[in-house]
Amino acid sequence: MNGVKLSVVVVVYRMRRQAMNTLLSLSASYQQGVREEDYEVIVVENASHQNLDPQAVSRLGGNFRYYLREENLPTPVFALDEGVRRARGDQLCIMIDGARMLTPGVLRLGMLAAHMFPFPLVAVPGYHLGRDLHQEVAGAGYDSEEEARLLESIGWPQEGYRLFEICCLSNANPGGVINPMMESNCFFFRKTTLEEAGGIDLRFDLPGGGMLNLDLYRRIGLVPGTELVVTPGEGSFHQYHGGVTTRHDRERERLVREFQEQYIELRGVRFQGLRRQPFLLGRVPPQAYWVLDLSSRHALNRLEKLRRLGHDLWPDEPGSGA
C-alpha cells in the first residue's frame, strides 16, 4: 500500500446497512477503472449499538482500514479529523456521512482530475434515493425497507448507474450540476489544499457536525489556485437513515437554526454557498440525461435573473468583478 495515491475517509455512526452499501460502492470490484493498490478507504466509526462488523469491512478489499472509536459528543468532526490524520495518500476524498453510496466512476474521475489540474476540488453532486427528499417523506411510508426494495428493483449493485432512475436531487444542489452547489458529500482535494485552507475546524461540535461540511467545502474552494470540477455523470446517493437533517420535525428546524447561529459565531458572517464556475468532467450515462436537462434549464433561468439584476454569475471566481 506504499503507492497509495488517494485516501477516502468515510465517517460512520449508527447506520450499519447503509454504511455497508456505501463501502461496497467504494470497493475496487464496484468502482470502474481503478486498482485496489491505488487508493485506501479509511472507515472511522463512532461507536453505537449498530457497529459495523470489522471482518465484513475487510472482506471488501485489502485497501479498507476500519477504526472504531468512542465519542462523547454528537459530532463527526473528531472522527473526520482522525481519518484525515491517518490518510497516506496525497489526495483526499471526504465522505462525512457514511450513508451516501456512489456510482461506479467516481474514484476514477477524482483521481483523473488530480492529473489534469494542480489543485482540483472535485465535487460529486448529491441525490436522495426515492422520489422525494428524505426530510419530506420521513413518517410518510418511506423507510429503509422500501429503499431496499427500490435498490433490488434496479439490480444494484450490478447496475450502478441505475441509481439515477430512483432518486431526486439533493437540496444542496437543487439546480443540478451547472449551478452553484452548497456542498458536496463526496469531494476530493489535495492534502496541501486542506492545510492552506486552515484544516478541519474542530469547533463544529453540534449534532451531525452542524455546518462543518458546508464550511470545509467552501473554504477549500476559496483557496487560491484551486479549480472546481463537477462530475455530471456521477453521483452520491443518500440512503434513508433518520439522520440529523433528514428528519421532518420541529427538532430539525431548531437544529438548523442552531447550526446557522454557530456558523455566524465562528465565521462572523452568514453562510454563502461557493459560487465558482465548474469544469464538467466525465461521461454522462443515459440514466442521468434528465440531470443535464434540468441543470441547463435552471442555469438559463439563473443567467437571465442575474443579468437583469446586474449581478456577477460567478462572484467567487478569481478575477471576478464582485
Residue 132 in this model has a pLDDT that exceeds 90: no
The dihedral over CA atoms of 117, 94, 100, 279, expressed in degrees to the nearest 10, equals -20
Residue 321 in this model has a pLDDT that exceeds 80: no
Residue 28: the pLDDT is 99
* Mean predicted confidence (pLDDT) in 131-150: 79
Residue 113: the pLDDT is 99
pLDDT band at 252 (very low <50, low <70, confident <90, very high): confident
Residue 322 in this model has a pLDDT that exceeds 60: no
User: Domains in the chain, ordered, with CATH?
Assistant: 6-306 (3.90.550.10)
The residue type of 287 is Q
* Mean predicted confidence (pLDDT) in 145-165: 97
Residue 2: the pLDDT is 62
Tell me which of 128-132, 139-143, 158-162 is least confident.
139-143
Report whether 160 contacts 235 (CB < 8 A): no
Average pLDDT of the chain is 95
pLDDT band at 243 (very low <50, low <70, confident <90, very high): low
Residue 247 in this model has a pLDDT that exceeds 90: no
The residue type of 177 is V
Residue 274: the pLDDT is 98
Give me the percent of the chain exceeding a pLDDT of 70.
Answer: 95
Q: Which three cell numbers stand for residue 221?
A: 474552494
Residue 199 in this model has a pLDDT that exceeds 60: yes
pLDDT band at 301 (very low <50, low <70, confident <90, very high): very high
Residue 1 in this model has a pLDDT that exceeds 60: no
Residue 241: the pLDDT is 86
Q: Read off the pLDDT of residues 56-80 as tens digits, 9 standing for 90 and up.
A: 999 999 999 999 999 999 999 999 9
Contacts of 267 (CB under 8 A, 6+ apart): 215
Residue 245 in this model has a pLDDT that exceeds 90: no
Tell me the pairing of strands 6-12 and 91-95. Answer: parallel
Residue 249: the pLDDT is 67
* Mean predicted confidence (pLDDT) in 91-99: 98
Q: Read off the pLDDT of residues 12-55 as tens digits, 9 standing for 90 and up.
A: 999 999 999 999 999 999 999 999 999 999 999 999 999 999 99
Residue 220 gets the label, from left (phi > 0), alpha (psi -120 to 50) or beta, of alpha
Residue 308: the pLDDT is 98
Residue 205: the pLDDT is 97
